[in-house]
């Protein structure tokens, strides 16, 4: 077990990502932020808090997306579906998907599928806290990334919100 | 996450845990049905046959829609337009269909226990009971429960009244099993000829022959259809008299000091078990029940498909 990001580092990383997400966005009102259930939601919530404090007058468009019904491993195991709260149409909008750890890329593949059912976005970008760069099974890369690390498949990367740290288990 | 059963034959064989999983999954499917594109790809590798040996409008359309919203392939079969009229047995019919690589069977049959019989002979195929004789109609009970929870938040301690033809109603039996398992209180009301004599002891439910008192007691009144097609003797003198003594009317509801939820599994005999103004009133959730039916059936099919095994 090894600590990848301490509490202070994690806070700084999330703050940096939040700044990056909005620094090039001239039209913030055309962006929909989407946290991926279940764990991406927790990162996304923190980022939304940071962005909200930067732009206190602005009403952020934010929702969470559950990808359970779009998974490609349904016949191996059923997962518990969680809430989806995308209430506005994403037609013609720029969507930024937010997740905690990017690993095989299969969750993002499913999320891209799921997004289609809410309209045709103008552009989709991906923001992740941790990018496990060696283990991709699909051609998917993040546009915004907190920390990129090289891991072996048998290792496990976990964001522990109770201790506010990122831990890597061997 | 998975159910403890391979089939949905009745509520009787489900654990409270199974019921909770189905209802919470249905909650998410209800959200799917509000989207611009109301369809998910979960069951695109599954083929389902709908075997309807008995007439149905709601249940059949609801199952078919649920299957299509899950991207499953479906085949519809109705007994009247098939080789059943040439004398083919149930098992032969099903085996013939299954040899064409079908993964799930949704069946309605007028004989109680027909789906259980199939499940015994075809353990590897998921079988969903869409109503068998006077035994059970599990998906109806699940959608009734879903509608109650949607309105009140939970089933625990909720007072539910079932009115009418308890004797011939599979909806009633499934509802009793489910409500008791989930901690609700159940009362039955209707003419003594339509309420089985020992049901009180058998299911730990209350029986109240005075409808006015029963309505005063409950939070939810589920009004059942008078099943004339299953009655082979005279159990009440006339539909008019039934309506006067046990019909749910606006006048009766005005006589109680609270607003209760009105449910009906359909099809409605307007002016018999329920008056039109009650069925169409604000406190009636009859059409919501139909809407919720699709989400609940999607949840059942989705959860049972997870156990798909390679075909015969």
Query: Residue B226 pLDDT > 70, yes or no?
Result: yes
Question: Which residue in chain A has the smallest CA separation from B34?
Answer: A87
- Which tokens is A154 given? 């048998």
Burial B12-44 (b: 16+ CB within 10 A, else e): ebbeeebbebbbbbbbbbbebbebeeeebbbbe
Exposed, middle or buried, A152 (CB in 10 Å: 0-12/13-18/19+)? Answer: exposed
Residues B216, B218, B222, B228, CA torsion sign: negative
DSSP β-ladder status, A2-5 and A165-169: antiparallel
- The domains of chain B are located at 16-136+291-305, 138-290
Out of B29, B45, B303, the one facing A78 most closely (by C-beta) is B303
Top residue of B3, B28, B300 to mutate, by most chain A CBs within 10 Å, is: B28
Q: Would you place residue B144 in the very low, low, confident or very high pLDDT band (cuts 50, 70, 90)? A: very high
Main-chain phi, psi angles of B229, to 5 degrees: -70, -20
Residue-wise pLDDT tens digits, B146-156: 999 999 999 99
Per the prediction, chain B carries an average pLDDT of 92
CB B2 to CB A113 under 8 A?
no
Q: Would you place residue B307 in the very low, low, confident or very high pLDDT band (cuts 50, 70, 90)? A: low
Rounded CA-CA distance B112/B126 in Å is 18
Main-chain phi, psi angles of A155, to 5 degrees: -80, 160
Q: Report the CATH number of the B16-136+291-305 domain.
A: 3.40.50.1370
pLDDT of B55 reads: 85
Q: Which residues of A touch B32 (CB under 8 A)?
A: 69, 84, 117
pLDDT of B178 reads: 97
Whether domain B138-290 has CATH 3.40.50.1370: the reply is yes
Window from A26-30, B79-83, B145-149, B261-265 with minimum mean pLDDT: B79-83
CB B306 to CB A78 under 8 A?
yes
CB B2 to CB A84 under 8 A?
no
The complex's ipTM works out to 0.87
B45 interfaces chain A, CB cutoff of 8 Å = yes
Out of A70, A79, A84, the one facing B41 most closely (by C-beta) is A70
B36 interfaces chain A, CB cutoff of 8 Å = yes
B261 cis-preceded (ω within 30 degrees of 0): no
pTM exceeding 0.95? no
- Its CATH class, for the domain covering A8-151, is alpha beta
Q: According to the 3-state scheme, what is the secondary structure of chain B?
A: CCCCCCCECCCCCCCHHHHHHHHHHHHHHHHHCCCCCCCCCCCCCCEEEEEECCCCCHHHHHHHHHHHHCCCEEEEEEHHHCHHHHCCCHHHHHHHHHCCCCCEEEEEECCCCHHHHHHHHCCCCEEEEEEECCCECHHHHHHHHHHHHHHHCCCCCCEEEEECCCCCCHHHHHHHHHHHHCCCEEEEECCHHHCCCCHHHHHCCEECCCHHHHHHHCCEEEECCCCHHHCCCCCCCCHHHHHHHHCECHHHHHCCCCCCEEECCCCCCECCCECHHHHCCCCECHHHHHHHHHHHHHHHHHHHHCCCCCCC
B40 interfaces chain A, CB cutoff of 8 Å = yes
Window from A76-90, A130-144, B287-301 with minimum mean pLDDT: A76-90
């Amino acid at each position: 077990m090894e600590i990848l990001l301490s509490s202070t580092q994690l806070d700084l990383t999330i703050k940096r990502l939040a700044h990056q997400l909005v620094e090039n966005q001239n039209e913030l009102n055309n962006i929909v932020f989407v946290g991926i259930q279940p764990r991406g939601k927790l990162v996304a919530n923190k980022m939304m808090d940071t962005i909200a404090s930067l732009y206190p007058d602005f009403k952020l468009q934010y929702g969470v997306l559950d990808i359970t019904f779009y998974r490609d491993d349904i016949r191996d195991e059923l997962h518990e579906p969680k809430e989806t709260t995308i209430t506005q149409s994403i037609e013609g909008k720029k969507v930024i998907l937010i997740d905690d750890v990017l690993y095989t890329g299969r969750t993002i593949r499913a999320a891209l599928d799921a997004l289609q059912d809410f309209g045709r976005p103008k552009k989709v970008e991906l923001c992740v806290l941790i990018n496990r760069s060696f283990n991709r099974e699909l051609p998917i890369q993040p546009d915004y990334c907190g920390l990129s690390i090289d891991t072996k498949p048998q290792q496990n990367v976990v964001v522990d919100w109770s201790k506010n740290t990122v831990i890597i288990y061997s | 996450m998975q159910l403890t059963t391979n089939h949905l034959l009745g509520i009787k064989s489900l654990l409270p845990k199974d019921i909770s999983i189905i209802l919470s999954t249905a909650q998410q499917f209800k959200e799917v049905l509000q989207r611009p594109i109301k369809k998910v790809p979960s069951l695109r590798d599954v083929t389902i046959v709908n075997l309807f040996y008995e007439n149905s409008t709601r249940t059949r359309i609801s199952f078919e829609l649920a299957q299509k919203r899950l991207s499953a392939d479906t085949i519809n079969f109705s007994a009247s337009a098939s080789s059943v009229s040439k004398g083919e047995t149930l098992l032969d019919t099903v085996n013939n269909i299954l040899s064409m690589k079908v993964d799930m069977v949704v069946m309605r049959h007028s004989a109680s226990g027909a789906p259980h019989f199939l499940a015994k002979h075809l353990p590897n195929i998921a079988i969903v009971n869409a109503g068998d004789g006077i035994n059970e109609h599990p998906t109806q009970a699940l959608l009734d429960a879903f509608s109650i929870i949607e309105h009140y938040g939970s089933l625990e301690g909720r007072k539910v009244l079932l009115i009418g033809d308890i004797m011939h109603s599979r909806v009633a039996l499934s509802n009793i099993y489910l409500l008791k398992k989930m901690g609700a209180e159940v009362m039955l009301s209707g003419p003594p000829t339509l309420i089985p004599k020992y049901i009180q002891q058998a299911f730990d439910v209350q029986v109240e022959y005075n409808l006015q008192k029963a309505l005063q007691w409950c939070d939810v009144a589920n009004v059942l259809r008078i099943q004339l097609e299953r009655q082979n003797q005279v159990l009440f003198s006339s539909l008019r008299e039934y309506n006067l003594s046990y019909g749910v009317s606006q006048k009766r509801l005005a006589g109680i000091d609270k607003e209760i939820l009105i449910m009906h599994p359909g099809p409605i005999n307007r002016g018999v078990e329920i008056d039109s103004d009650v069925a169409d009133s604000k406190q009636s959730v009859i059409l919501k029940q139909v809407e919720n039916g699709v989400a609940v059936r999607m949840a059942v099919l989705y959860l049972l498909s997870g156990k798909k095994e390679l075909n015969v």
